Structure 1
C-alpha cells in the first residue's frame, strides 16, 4: 500500500474543522438580533489572542457538551454548544407571576438581590442596550450594584430575566466576584418593588468566550419564569481593561410570595 503524505493524513480533520467553522458563522449571524453582553469593568472590546482557560481545556475537541454544566467545587466551567438549550430545572418549578399591563413608570421592578452562598446582598438598578446592541452595566463607581436589563421580564414573570454585575473594578472585587462559585441547587432571591419576593434555584452555570456568547440560550423565550446572572471571567487584558469571557448562571423560579 502506498504510504500517505502528512497532508493526506490531515485532510479529514481539516474538512471537519472547516465544516464546524461554517456552522458557527451561520449561528452567530442568526443570533445577532439579540443584545450582546457588555464588559463587567469597562467597554466591550475584542477578545485578545491569548487562549482562555476554557479554550485551553477544550483544545483539540470538536464537540462541546450538549447541555450547560452544573458547576460546583472542583468542576471546571466550560461552555455548551451554541445550539444547546438552557439546563433543566434543578427542582420543581412554580407558575410565573402574571405580568401587569401598567405603564413603564408604574411597572414593578426588581430592587434587591440576595445570594446566600456567596454573600451577595445588593441593590438592583436598571440597564439598557445602546445603539449597537451592547448591554450596559451598572456604574463602575458603584461596584456593589447590579443591573436589571429593562428589556427582559420582571423577575418572576414568564421568560428569562437578566441581571448583570461587575466582577471587579480598578479598586478591587465587585458584587459578582464570586459568581463562578454557584452550582446547581443554590438559591437566589430577588425582591420586587411591588412587595413580591421570588426565589430562583440554580440549574446550571457556564463560562463562554465573548466571541461565541450563547445569545439564544440566555435571551431566548422560555416556558416558565427564569433568571440569568451575568458577569465577566477568563483572562483580563490590562491594556483593553476587559475580560475575554462571560460567566452565565441559569436559574428557574422555584418559590414566590407576596
Structure 2
C-alpha cells in the first residue's frame, strides 16, 4: 500500500559491485537534529507485538528483520515517543522529520550506513502494515513510534508514526 508499495522489481546491481554484507545496528543518529541513541536487539511479544525497550533514550532493532546496510529487506527500529518518568524519547522527533533528512545507523562492525527520509505516515495501532516487516524487497529503514491521541485510561497512544528511509545515494568523489 501507499507510495512505497512492493510492486515491480528493482534493477539488478552491476555484477562488479557485490552487495555489502549487513551489520547488526548498534547506534542511531539524526544528525540534522543533533540526536543520537543506542540500539538494542528486540523481538516480538506473545501477542505478536513489537517489543520496545523501556528507556525512551534507547531504540529497539527488530532482530528477525534485515541487517543495516544489507542489500535487501527492511531494517525496523522502534522507540518510545515519551515516558511518564523519563520525559521525551529519542523518537519524539519522528512526526517532524522531513523528506531528505539524513538518518545514520552505526553497525557493530563500525560502519555507518547512511539513509535518507523519503516519507512519513500515521497508522492506527491495529492497522500497522505487515509489509513494514518485509525481509525481502529493496533495502530500506523504517522508524516506528507512538502517536496520535493519548488515551489516559489505557495509558497508550492510538496510533503509530512510521518514517520510511532509503539508503542515501553515494557521494560523488570530489574532483581534485
Q: Does 1:125 align with 2:15?
A: no
Residues paired across the two proteins, number: 159
Bigger relative contact order (CA 8 A; separation at least 6): 1
The answer to whether the 8 Å contact 2:66/2:135 transfers is no
Instruction: Give, in angstroms, the shift of residue 118 of structure 1.
Output: 2.9
Q: Does 1:116 align with 2:39?
A: no
Q: Could you tell me which residue of structure 2 aligns to residue 192 of structure 1? A: 107
**Which structure carries more helix by proportion?**
1
The answer to whether the 8 Å contact 1:97/1:156 transfers is yes
Residue of structure 2 aligned with 1:153, choices 47, 52, 66:
66
Q: Could you tell me which residue of structure 1 aligns to residue 139 of structure 2? A: 225
TM superposition score normalised by structure 1: 0.57
SS in 1 for 2:80: coil
Instruction: Give, in angstroms, the shift of residue 162 of structure 1.
Output: 0.3
Instruction: Give, in angstroms, the shift of residue 255 of structure 1.
Output: 5.3
Q: Deviations over 1:186-228 (max 9, x none)?
A: 1100001111110001111101111222222x11254332100
Q: Could you tell me which residue of structure 2 aligns to residue 235 of structure 1? A: 149
SS in 2 for 1:224: coil
The structure-2 alpha-carbon separation of the partners of 1:245 and 1:191, relative to structure 1 and needing over 3 Å to count, comes to: same
Q: Does 1:179 align with 2:63?
A: no
The structure-2 alpha-carbon separation of the partners of 1:148 and 1:221, relative to structure 1 and needing over 3 Å to count, comes to: closer
The structure-2 alpha-carbon separation of the partners of 1:247 and 1:159, relative to structure 1 and needing over 3 Å to count, comes to: same
TM superposition score normalised by structure 2: 0.82
Q: Could you tell me which residue of structure 2 aligns to residue 97 of structure 1? A: 20
RMSD of aligned alpha carbons: 2.2
4+ runs of 1 displaced by more than 4 Å?
Answer: 93-96
Residue of structure 2 aligned with 1:169, choices 63, 71, 83:
83
SS in 2 for 1:117: coil
Structure 1 unaligned regions, length at least 5: 1-65, 69-83, 87-92, 100-107
Q: Distance in 2 between matches of 1:169 and 1:119?
A: 20
SS in 2 for 1:249: strand
Structure 2 unaligned regions, length at least 5: 7-12, 171-176
Bigger radius of gyration, 1 or 2?
1
Instruction: Give, in angstroms, the shift of residue 175 of structure 1.
Output: 1.0
Q: Distance in 1 between matches of 2:160 and 2:148?
A: 7
